[in-house]
Amino acid sequence: MNKNQLTLIIALVSGAMLGLIGVQLYWIHNAIELKKQQFDRDVNEVLSNVVAGLEKQEVLNVVKGFGFEANLFKKLDNLDLKIDSIQASTKQIADSISEKIVKIEKGPDNSPQGHLRIGLNQAFNHDSIMKGFQRMSDAFFSNDLKKLFDFQFDMAQKQFDRTIGKRKDFEKVFNLDTAIINRKLGLIKEVMKEMVIVDIRGESMNRVKPRSVDSVLGVELINKGIQQPYKIGVFNARNQLISEHLEPEIHEQIAKSPYRINLFPGSVISEPTFLKVYFPAKSKYLLKAMWGVLSLSFLLTILIILCFYYTVRTIYKQKKDSEIKTDFINNMTHELKTPISTIALACESIGDPQLKQSQQKVNEYVGMIHAENERLGNLVEDVLQSAVLDRGDFKIKTEEVNVDNVISASIEKMQALVEKNNGTIHIELIAKENIVIGDRFHLVNVLCNLLDNAIKYSKDLPKIKVSTENVQDGLKIICEDDGIGISLENQKKIFDKLYRVPSGNIHNVKGFGLGLNYVQAIVQKHGGNIKVISELGKGSKFEIFLPFRYGKA
């Protein structure tokens, strides 16, 4: 898979993932909106129940006001009959007015203007209407019931004027048809009926008891499953507060609340009185109610993103591993080609009859074959050790090892290579406690790998320093060089298997990228750790920590 194909696949998968997340967010938004609408419906239903409950409570209070006389129900029955009679009389008055208004005769010019004006003047004689109501009151109500009821004729007359309009406004109806006039008459009848209904409740401010409203509202909210803090206020039609049961700092929030209802919806005479409810924690309540769905959606979205990230990361890692393996094969081919060619050339030379006469030459070629054969063995051993480390079957010996002797043996093995490159190795062994528990053979190989890297990555003449020092519970082995250094980016990867610092197709630095991976694995098997301190152009320093008693009680 080339780079362009990989980019296209990732772009398509990314687009699909973003689309899926977008659909998920849209669904969540719709779910929240539906929850808000359900909440609004529940609150409005609660407010309707509150109004109904308050009306029942008012009726109960009226009944209690009669006391428990033996003839209570008889009085109430008589009251029903009298109210029916009042309503019948009211209908007669309204019908009388209707007759006066409806009886319109056309004039010479087919205009009812003159007769309609007279009818209106006769119909809206407030004094005669109110006196008629007063006579009905005296005739129908006994003294004990009159104490309970208050007609408030003055207020009723003003409300009557405001409801049906001024007389001169009604005079304009002469240009209207009969249907409009009948509609106005219907309004007049409704108003007059309410004017004669007995007012036992008083003004709105006296009828509304905030604590009672709060109590009924709280019960209804709980019945609906809405257990949230709330604030209430009672306002008039001009949105002015008329209750004292309200904190000043939230007055504005309650006044703007969309949750409101008319406490006395059946009254057209008295001024409308509105109950408003404000929920300070509405958003938190909705989120809490949606918490399960939102959490599941969030987790699914995160899971999708993580899966996408893991997939892309795996693809890039496999691509990188493929490149590393290809590079490893190329390096291995290059590393093996040289000794194989050298051995083949030496064998061919030894087979030359003329060369057989010179034993010295034969010995030189035999030594060359031996050296190259040993080199091939070491290369194969490195690969085999890497395979063993991968399987996890690798085990080390646990014996006392003198670190100073390990360093000396390592330098001795690498001395020929150092001299070949005209380099020097400086030794500074200052650790007084230098005995650790470990495997001497592998510790020697660890130091040989570090020395080999220091020689290969030197700028000119290798200058290497090997030192030791005691630290808490162990000692440090430090290998320093003045080579080309390692960048911060490569420092994070140099201990990875098969990783080599990129150098293009230049093969002046030999190796498979297995050395430092092997070094780290061996050090960790000994219970220690290794770290690198390096800067480009200023050399590198590797620090190995080994504990004294790891692996032995």
Mean pLDDT of 435-458: 90
Residue 179: pLDDT over 90: no
- pLDDT over 60 (residue 310): yes
Q: Are both 489 and 403 inside the same structural domain?
A: yes
Residue 478 belongs to a domain: yes
In a domain? residue 116: yes
What pLDDT was estimated at residue 353? 78
Question: Residue 459 has what pLDDT?
Answer: 81
Q: Please indicate whether residue 215 or residue 181 has the higher confidence score (pLDDT).
A: 215
> Residue 246 has what pLDDT?
56
For position 459, which CATH number holds? 3.30.565.10
Domain membership flag for residue 390? no
pLDDT of 404: 93
Residue 3 lies in a domain: no
Last residue of a domain, one of 171, 200, 229: 200
Residue 33's CB is within 10 A of a number of other CB atoms, namely 11
In 268-328, DSSP assigns E strands to: 273-278
Q: Which of 356, 382, 408 is the last residue of a domain?
A: 382
**Are both 170 and 228 inside the same structural domain?**
no
Of the candidate ranges 238-247, 269-278, 426-435, 485-494, the one whose mean pLDDT is the lowest? 238-247
Alpha helices in 108-177 (DSSP H): 113-123, 126-140, 143-146, 153-164, 167-170
Would you state the structure tokens that stand for residue 216, as one six-digit string? 């009924």
User: Residue 220 pairs with which residues in a beta bridge?
Assistant: none
Q: Are residues 402 and 531 in the same domain?
A: yes
Please indicate, yes or no, whether the overall pTM of this predicted structure exceeds 0.75.
no
Between CA 549 and CA 526 the distance in angstroms is 10
For residue 76, is pLDDT > 50?
no
Q: For residues 149 and 540, which has the higher predicted lDDT (pLDDT)?
A: 540
Smallest CA-to-CA distance from 190 within 82, 97, 76, 78 is with 97
Q: Please give the average per-residue pLDDT across 161-181, as a whole number.
A: 49
DSSP character at residue 436: E
Instruction: Mark whether 250 and 301 lie in a shared domain.
Output: no
Whether residue 13 is contained in a domain is answered as no
Please provide the size of the chain in residues.
Answer: 553
Residue 315 clears pLDDT 80, i.e. is over it: yes
- Is 266 part of a structural domain of the chain? yes
Least-confidence region, from 56-65, 181-190, 204-213: 181-190
Q: Are residues 101 and 131 in the same domain?
A: yes
Q: Angle at CA 8, nearest 5°, toward 4 and 14? A: 145
7 falls within a domain: no
Last residue of a domain, one of 286, 321, 341: 286
- CA distances from residue 466 to 404, 428, 429, 514, 527 in whole angstroms, order as listed: 10, 6, 8, 22, 21
**Count of domains in the chain?**
4
Give me the pLDDT at residue 467, please. Answer: 94
Kindly state whether residues 179 and 246 are assigned to the same domain. no
411 shares a domain with 520: yes
Domain presence at residue 445: yes
Q: What is the pLDDT of residue 93?
A: 54
Half-sphere exposure for 320 (CA within 13 Å, toward CB): 13
Q: Are 307 and 421 members of one domain?
A: no
Give which of 526, 520, 527 is closest to 491, Cα–Cα. 520
User: Looking at the structure, do residues 327 and 459 belong to the same domain, yes or no?
Assistant: no
Domain that residue 352 falls in:
291-382
pLDDT, tens digit, 9 for 90 and up, residues 85-137: 555 555 555 555 544 444 444 445 444 444 443 344 444 454 555 555 555 55
pLDDT confidence of residue 222? 87
pLDDT tens, position by position, 129-152? 555 555 555 554 445 444 444 444
Residue 188 and residue 80 share a domain: yes
Q: Please tell me the predicted confidence (pLDDT) of residue 447.
A: 92
Q: What is the CATH number of the domain that holds 333?
A: 1.10.287
Mean pLDDT within 287-314: 86
Query: Burial code of 345-384, b = ≥16 C-beta within 10 A, e = fewer?
Result: ebeeebeeeeeeeeeeebeebeebbeebeebbeebeebee
Share of the chain above pLDDT 90, in %: 11
In the predicted structure, residue 513 carries a pLDDT above the cut 60 = no
Q: Are 209 and 196 within one domain?
A: no
Confidence label for 244 from pLDDT (cuts 50, 70 and 90):
low
pLDDT of 466: 94
- Model confidence over 36-50: pLDDT tens digits? 898 889 898 988 888
Statement to judge: residues 130 and 161 lie in one domain? yes
